[in-house]
Amino acid sequence: MEDVLEVYTQPYDPQRPQVCMDETNKQLLDDVQDPLPAQPGQAARVDYEYERQGVANLFLFFEPLAGKRYVQVTERRTQTDWAQAMRELSDVLYPAAEKIVVVLDNLNTHVPASFYVAFAPEEARRLVNRFEFHYMPKHGSWLNMAEIELSVLGRQCLAGRIAGQEALVTAVDAWEKERNAQVVKVHWRFTTADARIKLKSLYPKIEP
Protein backbone atom coordinates (compact mmCIF):
# COMPACT_ATOMS: atom_id res chain seq x y z
CA MET A 1 0.00 0.00 0.00
CA GLU A 2 2.68 2.49 0.97
CA ASP A 3 4.50 1.73 -2.28
CA VAL A 4 1.49 2.89 -4.30
CA LEU A 5 0.91 5.91 -2.08
CA GLU A 6 4.53 6.93 -2.57
CA VAL A 7 4.05 6.81 -6.34
CA TYR A 8 1.14 9.22 -5.99
CA THR A 9 3.36 11.79 -4.25
CA GLN A 10 5.77 12.01 -7.18
CA PRO A 11 5.48 15.20 -9.28
CA TYR A 12 4.47 15.20 -12.91
CA ASP A 13 7.29 14.13 -15.20
CA PRO A 14 6.57 13.56 -18.91
CA GLN A 15 9.61 11.27 -19.08
CA ARG A 16 8.13 9.09 -16.31
CA PRO A 17 4.35 9.29 -16.74
CA GLN A 18 2.29 7.74 -13.95
CA VAL A 19 -0.47 5.60 -15.43
CA CYS A 20 -3.15 3.74 -13.49
CA MET A 21 -4.49 0.69 -15.30
CA ASP A 22 -7.64 -1.36 -14.75
CA GLU A 23 -10.19 -3.30 -16.76
CA THR A 24 -13.87 -4.10 -16.81
CA ASN A 25 -16.38 -5.78 -19.09
CA LYS A 26 -19.64 -4.85 -20.75
CA GLN A 27 -22.40 -7.27 -21.67
CA LEU A 28 -23.64 -6.43 -25.16
CA LEU A 29 -27.43 -6.44 -25.51
CA ASP A 30 -29.52 -5.74 -28.61
CA ASP A 31 -33.15 -4.65 -28.54
CA VAL A 32 -35.73 -7.12 -29.85
CA GLN A 33 -38.04 -4.21 -30.71
CA ASP A 34 -37.04 -0.64 -31.45
CA PRO A 35 -37.34 1.64 -28.39
CA LEU A 36 -40.08 4.27 -28.43
CA PRO A 37 -38.58 7.78 -28.26
CA ALA A 38 -39.49 10.25 -25.56
CA GLN A 39 -42.46 12.57 -26.13
CA PRO A 40 -43.87 15.50 -24.17
CA GLY A 41 -45.04 14.06 -20.87
CA GLN A 42 -43.81 10.59 -21.75
CA ALA A 43 -40.36 9.12 -21.08
CA ALA A 44 -38.62 6.95 -23.64
CA ARG A 45 -39.77 3.34 -23.47
CA VAL A 46 -37.62 0.25 -23.95
CA ASP A 47 -38.99 -3.26 -24.24
CA TYR A 48 -37.87 -5.62 -21.47
CA GLU A 49 -36.83 -8.29 -23.97
CA TYR A 50 -33.34 -8.25 -25.44
CA GLU A 51 -30.86 -10.45 -27.28
CA ARG A 52 -27.44 -11.22 -25.84
CA GLN A 53 -24.58 -10.30 -28.16
CA GLY A 54 -21.68 -11.48 -26.03
CA VAL A 55 -19.34 -9.67 -23.67
CA ALA A 56 -16.60 -7.16 -24.49
CA ASN A 57 -13.56 -6.29 -22.39
CA LEU A 58 -12.32 -2.76 -21.75
CA PHE A 59 -8.76 -1.85 -20.74
CA LEU A 60 -8.58 1.63 -19.21
CA PHE A 61 -5.36 3.62 -18.77
CA PHE A 62 -5.55 6.83 -16.73
CA GLU A 63 -2.81 9.40 -16.21
CA PRO A 64 -4.23 11.40 -13.27
CA LEU A 65 -1.62 14.16 -13.22
CA ALA A 66 -2.19 14.97 -16.89
CA GLY A 67 -5.95 14.43 -16.98
CA LYS A 68 -5.74 11.88 -19.79
CA ARG A 69 -7.42 8.52 -20.15
CA TYR A 70 -7.42 5.93 -22.91
CA VAL A 71 -9.80 2.99 -23.31
CA GLN A 72 -9.20 -0.02 -25.52
CA VAL A 73 -12.04 -2.43 -26.32
CA THR A 74 -11.16 -6.08 -26.91
CA GLU A 75 -13.11 -9.28 -27.38
CA ARG A 76 -11.25 -11.05 -24.59
CA ARG A 77 -9.03 -10.39 -21.57
CA THR A 78 -6.27 -12.97 -22.00
CA GLN A 79 -2.56 -12.52 -21.30
CA THR A 80 -2.05 -11.76 -24.98
CA ASP A 81 -4.78 -9.10 -25.01
CA TRP A 82 -3.23 -7.37 -22.00
CA ALA A 83 0.28 -7.57 -23.46
CA GLN A 84 -0.87 -6.03 -26.74
CA ALA A 85 -2.70 -3.26 -24.90
CA MET A 86 0.45 -2.52 -22.91
CA ARG A 87 2.55 -2.41 -26.08
CA GLU A 88 0.16 0.20 -27.48
CA LEU A 89 0.50 2.15 -24.23
CA SER A 90 4.28 2.06 -24.64
CA ASP A 91 4.78 2.58 -28.35
CA VAL A 92 1.73 4.60 -29.42
CA LEU A 93 0.65 6.63 -26.38
CA TYR A 94 4.02 7.22 -24.65
CA PRO A 95 6.75 6.49 -27.20
CA ALA A 96 9.05 9.26 -25.88
CA ALA A 97 8.86 8.26 -22.21
CA GLU A 98 12.01 6.90 -20.58
CA LYS A 99 9.97 4.71 -18.23
CA ILE A 100 6.22 4.32 -17.75
CA VAL A 101 5.22 3.98 -14.10
CA VAL A 102 2.13 1.75 -13.97
CA VAL A 103 -0.17 1.24 -10.99
CA LEU A 104 -2.32 -1.89 -11.39
CA ASP A 105 -3.96 -4.76 -9.58
CA ASN A 106 -2.71 -8.31 -9.08
CA LEU A 107 -4.80 -10.01 -11.75
CA ASN A 108 -2.94 -13.06 -13.04
CA THR A 109 -2.76 -11.65 -16.58
CA HIS A 110 -1.22 -8.35 -15.44
CA VAL A 111 2.33 -9.65 -15.13
CA PRO A 112 5.56 -9.30 -17.16
CA ALA A 113 5.34 -12.99 -18.05
CA SER A 114 2.39 -12.13 -20.29
CA PHE A 115 4.75 -10.34 -22.67
CA TYR A 116 6.58 -13.62 -23.23
CA VAL A 117 3.28 -15.35 -24.01
CA ALA A 118 2.40 -12.74 -26.63
CA PHE A 119 5.74 -11.84 -28.20
CA ALA A 120 9.16 -13.14 -29.09
CA PRO A 121 11.67 -13.01 -26.20
CA GLU A 122 13.51 -9.94 -27.53
CA GLU A 123 10.30 -7.93 -27.88
CA ALA A 124 9.01 -9.17 -24.55
CA ARG A 125 12.19 -8.07 -22.78
CA ARG A 126 12.06 -4.67 -24.46
CA LEU A 127 8.54 -4.14 -23.15
CA VAL A 128 9.41 -5.34 -19.65
CA ASN A 129 12.11 -2.66 -19.54
CA ARG A 130 9.65 0.02 -20.64
CA PHE A 131 7.57 -0.30 -17.47
CA GLU A 132 7.90 0.10 -13.72
CA PHE A 133 5.06 -1.85 -12.11
CA HIS A 134 3.47 -1.02 -8.73
CA TYR A 135 0.82 -3.51 -7.64
CA MET A 136 -2.20 -3.00 -5.40
CA PRO A 137 -2.16 -4.89 -2.09
CA LYS A 138 -4.72 -7.63 -1.58
CA HIS A 139 -8.20 -6.13 -1.08
CA GLY A 140 -6.71 -2.73 -1.90
CA SER A 141 -8.10 -2.10 -5.38
CA TRP A 142 -9.69 1.14 -4.08
CA LEU A 143 -6.17 2.60 -4.12
CA ASN A 144 -6.13 2.44 -7.93
CA MET A 145 -7.28 5.76 -9.38
CA ALA A 146 -8.27 3.96 -12.57
CA GLU A 147 -11.24 2.61 -10.60
CA ILE A 148 -12.53 6.18 -10.30
CA GLU A 149 -12.47 6.53 -14.07
CA LEU A 150 -14.10 3.13 -14.58
CA SER A 151 -16.91 4.25 -12.27
CA VAL A 152 -17.43 7.42 -14.30
CA LEU A 153 -17.25 5.46 -17.55
CA GLY A 154 -19.89 3.06 -16.26
CA ARG A 155 -22.30 5.84 -15.26
CA GLN A 156 -21.80 8.13 -18.23
CA CYS A 157 -21.27 5.68 -21.09
CA LEU A 158 -22.03 2.04 -20.28
CA ALA A 159 -25.28 2.24 -18.31
CA GLY A 160 -27.69 1.52 -21.17
CA ARG A 161 -27.92 -1.28 -23.70
CA ILE A 162 -25.20 -1.41 -26.33
CA ALA A 163 -25.86 -3.76 -29.20
CA GLY A 164 -22.39 -4.73 -30.39
CA GLN A 165 -18.67 -4.15 -30.14
CA GLU A 166 -18.60 -1.56 -32.92
CA ALA A 167 -21.25 0.51 -31.16
CA LEU A 168 -19.34 0.11 -27.89
CA VAL A 169 -16.12 1.37 -29.47
CA THR A 170 -17.95 4.40 -30.89
CA ALA A 171 -19.54 5.25 -27.54
CA VAL A 172 -16.32 4.80 -25.56
CA ASP A 173 -14.27 6.85 -28.04
CA ALA A 174 -16.73 9.74 -27.76
CA TRP A 175 -16.64 9.58 -23.94
CA GLU A 176 -12.83 9.45 -23.92
CA LYS A 177 -12.44 12.45 -26.24
CA GLU A 178 -14.92 14.59 -24.32
CA ARG A 179 -13.42 13.81 -20.92
CA ASN A 180 -9.86 14.36 -22.16
CA ALA A 181 -10.90 17.69 -23.66
CA GLN A 182 -12.07 18.70 -20.18
CA VAL A 183 -8.66 17.62 -18.76
CA VAL A 184 -10.32 15.97 -15.77
CA LYS A 185 -7.67 15.14 -13.16
CA VAL A 186 -7.70 13.45 -9.76
CA HIS A 187 -6.16 15.21 -6.78
CA TRP A 188 -5.25 12.32 -4.48
CA ARG A 189 -5.36 13.22 -0.77
CA PHE A 190 -4.93 9.89 1.02
CA THR A 191 -1.31 9.71 2.19
CA THR A 192 0.99 7.23 3.91
CA ALA A 193 0.54 9.19 7.14
CA ASP A 194 -3.24 8.78 6.81
CA ALA A 195 -2.84 5.05 6.17
CA ARG A 196 -0.75 4.56 9.31
CA ILE A 197 -3.50 6.18 11.38
CA LYS A 198 -6.75 5.08 9.73
CA LEU A 199 -5.57 1.60 8.73
CA LYS A 200 -3.45 0.94 11.80
CA SER A 201 -5.05 -2.49 12.31
CA LEU A 202 -3.58 -3.71 9.00
CA TYR A 203 0.01 -3.11 10.07
CA PRO A 204 2.01 -5.79 11.90
CA LYS A 205 1.99 -5.41 15.66
CA ILE A 206 5.50 -5.08 17.10
CA GLU A 207 5.76 -6.49 20.59
CA PRO A 208 8.05 -4.53 22.97
Query: Domains, the chain, ranges and CATH?
Result: 2-31+50-200 (3.30.420.10)
**What does residue 128 show for φ and ψ, rounded to 5 degrees?**
-55, -40
What contacts 189, CB < 8 A, 6 or more positions away?
Answer: none
Quick one: which of 74, 143, 84 has its CA closest to 115? 84
Q: What confidence tens digit (pLDDT) does each residue in 10-35 have?
A: 999 999 999 999 999 999 876 556 66
Whether residue 64 has pLDDT greater than 90: yes
Q: What is the pLDDT of residue 31?
A: 56
pLDDT tens digits, 191-200? 888 887 778 7
pLDDT of residue 184: 94
pTM recorded for the entire structure: 0.85
Q: Nearest Cα to 59, choosing from 93, 31, 29?
A: 93
* pLDDT given at position 60: 97
Output the pLDDT for position 79: 97
Question: What are the angstrom distances between the C-alpha of 46 and each of 14, 38, 49, 160, 164?
Answer: 46, 10, 9, 10, 17
Mean pLDDT of the chain: 89
> What is the crossing angle of helices 165-181 and 146-156, to 10°?
120
Average pLDDT over residues 137-158: 91
- Work out the average pLDDT over 171-198: 90
**pLDDT of 194:** 82
